Every structure is written in structure tokens, then in C-alpha cells.
Amino acid sequence: MTVTHHTLVWGHHRMELGQCTRIMGILNITPDSFSDGGKFFALDAALARAEQMAADGADILDIGGESTRPFSESVSADEETRRVVPVISYLAKKIPIPISIDTNKALVARRAVAAGASIINDVSALRFDNEMAAVAAENDVLLVLMHMKGTPADMQVAPVYDDLMGEVKNFLRQAVVRAEAAGVSRKKIIIDPGIGFGKTVDHNLALIHRLNELHDLDLPLLLGSSRKAFIRKILGEARQAQFPPDHPVVEIGTQATIAAGILSGAHIVRVHDVASTVATVRIVDAIRNAF
């Protein structure tokens, strides 16, 4: 039940990690995201959702304009910008918590940062756009680097690992080296094992169970398990049913993964349901910190 402690300082933000688990609320401004595609595609709906998550207790808002669900296809940088920048521009003036842009395109990241985002969440860990690290370095923002095997279009086609934790750790280590070589300060890097991105059910379970092995990299850990397919598969098999991602039972399963992840050393959890997660985090943090 040990967790490492880190202090993130960037722009006018400061965030202590370790004693309290931080919550990153997800806002998908897309018509096709696996969990809530289309629900917040309209500007008014997106803004209302973001303000509600902030009011519910989110520490960070993560805004994305392109789905990275399995077998998804990319959209243009201009279309992605059209979806996210108006929302970021409004929220940056409205709410005090930091805003993250979930993108793997440097042009979108640059436009989002100019609009008020101060974190870049790159699911490709700099592999899809070699200008991304420069955008992060030039703007002195936080950078999230995530492990993914392959691309969203092919990552779930029979993923295989000889050494799951070793390969994930080495991938992330190399991504950090690339980021630092481009001028990104190590003190502004967060790593994410990429639950559901090129992993089987067993891979995802093992990653959560063994998350603390990534502490060797001495970096903050972000866990994004919310409503993922492995949760739905486990619950569906138990009940001989198929549950949609936003089903209440799936949310209960999500909270179980969050609790396990915190006890395994997660510093930040990325979720759809902020209010439920606030309750989980408070109880699990209290248990973890008890002595």
C-alpha cells in the first residue's frame, strides 16, 4: 500500500501527488467514443458536462476531440481543433482547475495550449507526431505519455507480450528519454500503462495488480480504466449479459478497478463519473494512509 510522492508545478498550477489521489474527468467531444460518443458533441452539452465535473470534484479536465477506441479511424487536425478549442477557450476562463488536451497531433496540442490547456495527454507517447515533444517543451506544460501496442486501428488484434511489465516499462522509459531529449523537463512528465490499449483482459488485470512495479521509473502514474471493455467482459460473463459502457453495473466495476489501482500506486485516475470516483478515492486514500 505504499505510494511515491511527487510535486507537479507548472504555469500557475501546483499539485501534490501521493497523499491524495487526483481525479481527471473525461470529456469526449466526439460522435463515436466508446463510452459516451455523441452525448457531449454539442458545445452547450460539452460545457455543461465540464462544469458539472469540476463542481463534482475533478482535479483535472481531459478534453478530447478524436476517439481512440479500438478500430477507430483518425480525424483531421482541423476537425479535431474545431471540436475542442471553443470548449477549452471557454473553460479556461471559467474554472480554476487545469485542462488537459487528449490528442496525438502536435498542431491540435499547440492550438489547445494557446486556448488555455496546460497538459498534453498523448496516447501515442510521441510516436505518431514527432513535433509533439517540442510543443510540450516550448510551452512548459505537463506531458502524459501512455503505453500502446500498435495503433487504435490494430491494437486489439491479438496482442501478445513475452514480458508484460518489462515491455511496458521499457516502452515508457524510452518515451521519457525521447521527451527529455526534446527539452521536456522530467518534472513535467506523467506516465500511463495504457489500460485497454493493446491488451487482453488478463493483461489489464495484471497491469493494475502490478502497477507499483512502474514506480521504478520514479514518475507520477496515471490509470485510465474507466468503463473499459475488460470490465464489461468480466461482468457480462458473470451475469451472462452484455452491458453498455454507461451501465450502472459497469460503473461499479470501474470503481473496483480504481480502488485496486490506488492501492497499487496510482497517483491520478482518469474517469467518466467524477462524483462516484470522489467517494471511492476518499475512502481508499484513508485506508491506504492509515497507520
6-289 belongs to CATH 3.40.50.2300: no
Of 49, 169, 270, 288, catalytic = 270
Segment 149-188, tens digit of pLDDT? 877 777 677 789 999 999 999 999 999 999 999 999 999 9
The angle at the Cα of 247, spanning 33 to 69, to the nearest 5 degrees, equals 20
E strand residue ranges, 52-152: 60-64, 99-102, 119-122, 142-146
Of residues 70 and 255, which shows the higher confidence score?
255
E strand residue ranges, the chain: 6-10, 13-17, 22-28, 60-64, 99-102, 119-122, 142-146, 189-192, 222-223, 268-271
Of 169, 228, 232, 288, catalytic = 228
> Mean pLDDT score of the chain, rounded to an integer?
93
pLDDT at 7: 98
The stretch 49-68 carries a mean pLDDT of 94
Of residues 68 and 168, which shows the higher confidence score?
168
The stretch 64-72 carries a mean pLDDT of 76
pLDDT at 39: 58
Distance, in Å, from the CA atom of 228 to the CA atom of 234, rounded to the nearest integer, reads 11
Q: Is the pLDDT of residue 54 over 70?
A: yes
270 beta partners = 24
Q: How confident is the model at residue 34 (pLDDT cuts 50, 70, 90)?
A: very low
Of residues 291 and 219, which shows the higher confidence score?
219
Instruction: Specify whether the CB–CB gap between 157 and 147 falls below 8 A.
Output: no
E strand residue ranges, 167-264: 189-192, 222-223
Contacts of residue 9, Cβ cutoff 8 Å, sequence gap at least 6: 15, 187
pLDDT at 210: 98
Q: How confident is the model at residue 79 (pLDDT cuts 50, 70, 90)?
A: very high
Q: Helix, strand, coil shares of the chain as percentages rounded to 5?
A: 45, 15, 40
pLDDT at 1: 58
Domains of the chain, residue spans = 6-289
Q: Hey, what amino acid is at 238?
A: A
Instruction: Specify whether the CB–CB gap between 69 and 88 falls below 8 A.
Output: no
The stretch 45-62 carries a mean pLDDT of 95
270 annotated active-site: yes
pLDDT at 31: 74
- Please give the model's pTM, rounded to 2 decimal places: 0.94
Contacts of residue 277, Cβ cutoff 8 Å, sequence gap at least 6: 23, 255, 258, 269, 271
Distance, in Å, from the CA atom of 89 to the CA atom of 49, rounded to the nearest integer, reads 15
149 annotated active-site: no
Q: How confident is the model at residue 33 (pLDDT cuts 50, 70, 90)?
A: very low
Q: Is the pLDDT of residue 88 over 90?
A: yes
The stretch 82-108 carries a mean pLDDT of 96
